[in-house]
Amino acid sequence: MTQSEPLPVDGERPTGPGRAPAPRSAVRQIAAASVGNAAEWYDWYAYSYLAVYFADQVFPKGSGNSLVPLLSTFAVFAVGFFMRPVGGLLMGAVADRYGRRTALTATILLMGGGSLLVALTPTYASAGLLAPVVLVVARLVQGLSVGGEFAASTTFLVESAGPGRRGLFSSFQYVSTTIGQLFASGVAVLLVHTLTGRQMDSWGWRVAFLIGAAISLAGLWIRRGAQETRSSVPQQAARPGLFEAVRRHPRESLLICGITAGGTIAYYTWTTYLPTYAQVTSGTDKGDALLAGTVSLAFFAALQPLGGLLSDRVGRKPLLVGFAVGFAALAVPLLHAVGDDFVSLLIVQCAGMVLLTGYTSVAAAVNTEIFPARVRAAGIGFPYSVTVALFGGTAPYLGTWFKESGHPGTFPWYVAGLCLLSACVYLTLPETATRPLDR
Residue by residue, pLDDT tens for the chain (439 residues) are 343 333 333 333 444 444 555 544 788 888 888 888 898 889 878 887 787 788 778 877 654 555 556 556 656 666 777 788 888 889 988 888 888 888 999 999 999 999 999 999 998 888 888 888 888 888 889 888 888 888 888 899 898 888 889 999 999 999 999 999 899 888 988 888 888 888 988 899 999 999 999 999 988 888 887 888 765 555 555 677 777 888 888 999 999 999 999 999 999 888 878 887 787 777 888 778 878 888 999 999 999 999 999 999 999 999 999 999 999 999 999 988 888 888 999 999 999 999 999 999 999 999 999 988 888 988 898 899 889 888 887 777 787 778 777 887 888 899 999 999 999 999 999 998 888 887 6
To the nearest 10°, report the CA torsion of 304, 310, 315, 318: -80
The DSSP code for 65 is B
Whether the CB-CB separation of 265 and 415 falls below 8 Å is answered with yes
Q: What is the pTM of this model?
A: 0.82
Q: Between 1.20.1250.20, 1.10.286.10, 2.40.40.20, 3.40.50.720, what CATH number should domain 244-434 receive?
A: 1.20.1250.20
Same topology, domains 24-230 and 244-434? Answer is yes
| Residue 13 pLDDT | 41
Q: Which residues pair with 65 in a beta bridge?
A: 62
Provide CATH code, domain 24-230. 1.20.1250.20
- Domain boundaries defined on the chain: 24-230, 244-434
Q: What are the b/e assignments for 197-212, b being 16+ CB within 10 Å? A: eeebbeebbbbbbebb
